Structure 1
């Protein structure tokens, strides 16, 4: 019988301090609850993916606290990606990752349990939306050429833009022209899935034949029934992934929630911190 690979998808952990008035929920306690549930998953996961917004402020101390929790509760490899709430210098310092340039994107790849996992840093200092720089595309092209016989799983905090043109709420995605370049680069590369976060609700799309899985994460949930504002409510989930020869399956495990309102944001504010649609 062909081997199956089980893994866990976490995202938007937003680890911060209790006095952070922009946090609105106890994300440290939520992470403990989630990791306790992860310890009960059978078969035991081979690895864990945390797809960005690891911290709420991007400070090194929050990254240190995150690493302490993950190291204490997990005995499998963890793949980290950076999101718009993270900072690169804070990540490198707090997580103890060696680098010659603390402002460099955290792009990396590895092979775990026969799966080639490629992680792209879509964070952009000062912006909510996602970008991928030309140098990152060069790195990605080289990474995709490695391990040609293995299925590839892509990890990137911002999901790609799904439509044929930039969406009105384009701060939710990788900048549209770069999403298109991303699509061309991934074409025909045996990509079994893309794992993302950022939009704070569970969503599965098929994007040009590639499954794109987004998780609610461990911070708060987006009320997707409201489109006039960004309304955040109490809620969290994590994903259990299974990779078979037939492809990728994702199951979502929601934490019990009353979905009480935590905060709201006007769309105008979010759009003001997104890259203009016309920019390349």
Structure 2
């Protein structure tokens, strides 16, 4: 019988160097503060998920900074996904991950605490929106079949598109037709949850029967009351997950914040840099 498993969900760490004038908050200090709080969690988490936008610029030095902080403060496995702010070459070099192709998607899986954790790289170089390539779907199918008896967590930076048609704000999600294929592939696979980031606010959805957990992350929060622009305000949180035989529970731990405005972005700019919506 499956035992209870506790884990931590981090996302959108946006670790950067002091000369990054597009960071708007001290993300390295926030990450250290969050990891100090994580150290107080009981029962002790068995692993940490970091679901993308690990760095703000994707450069190798920022990844090296992230690695130093994690090595200093964390003594459990950390599962990383890549987001649109990351770069694959920067990640492989800075995190000292061996690869034959520094431009290849960082797709991987791991079993921790009896949970099969499957991580997809939804980043699309140069664009904001998410995508899953045909070769990645082939890898995903093989990987899901490799441990059919184990409950599975899916980690992917961009959440799937939730609606029944492409959303006008499609830069927020995995490209719509690929989201549909994703849903079909996950059916009947003992998926206990999908962990994502990207949109910078805490959100829980049930998508084709699967909980989709999105975290605010450690960089900034989206003001979801403003729909005419993307308004970023001061704010951060992390998630504490518990996996039981009955399913997944997520609790969110917000850091105190005055919600002061940090920056705004016009929606037109975001749409231009999303994965284009096809004719369908």
TM-score (norm 2): 0.99
Other-structure match for 1:176? 176
Other-structure match for 1:207? 207
206-215 or 14-23, which deviates more? 14-23
Other-structure match for 2:190? 190
Deviation at 1:176, TM superposition (A): 0.2
Other-structure match for 2:98? 98
1: CA distance, partners of 2:6 / 2:115:
11
2: CA distance, partners of 1:243 / 1:216:
21
User: Does 2:109 align with 1:109?
Assistant: yes
TM-score (norm 1): 0.99
The gaps in structure 2 that reach 5 residues or longer are none
| Residue-by-residue CA offset, 1:236-268 (whole Å, 9 max, x unaligned) | 000000000000000000000000000000000
SS at match of 1:104: coil
2: CA distance, partners of 1:146 / 1:71:
30
| Residue-by-residue CA offset, 1:213-252 (whole Å, 9 max, x unaligned) | 0000000000000000000000000000000000000000
Other-structure match for 2:46? 46
Other-structure match for 2:241? 241
Distance 1:112 1:279, change over 3 A: farther
Other-structure match for 1:130? 130
SS at match of 2:213: strand
SS at match of 1:219: coil
2: CA distance, partners of 1:3 / 1:190:
16
Other-structure match for 1:16? 16
1: CA distance, partners of 2:39 / 2:227:
36
User: Does 2:236 align with 1:229?
Assistant: no
SS at match of 1:199: coil
SS at match of 2:248: strand
Distance 1:275 1:262, change over 3 A: same
User: Does 2:46 align with 1:59?
Assistant: no
SS at match of 1:45: coil
Other-structure match for 2:82? 82
Other-structure match for 1:34? 34
The gaps in structure 1 that reach 5 residues or longer are none
Other-structure match for 2:218? 218
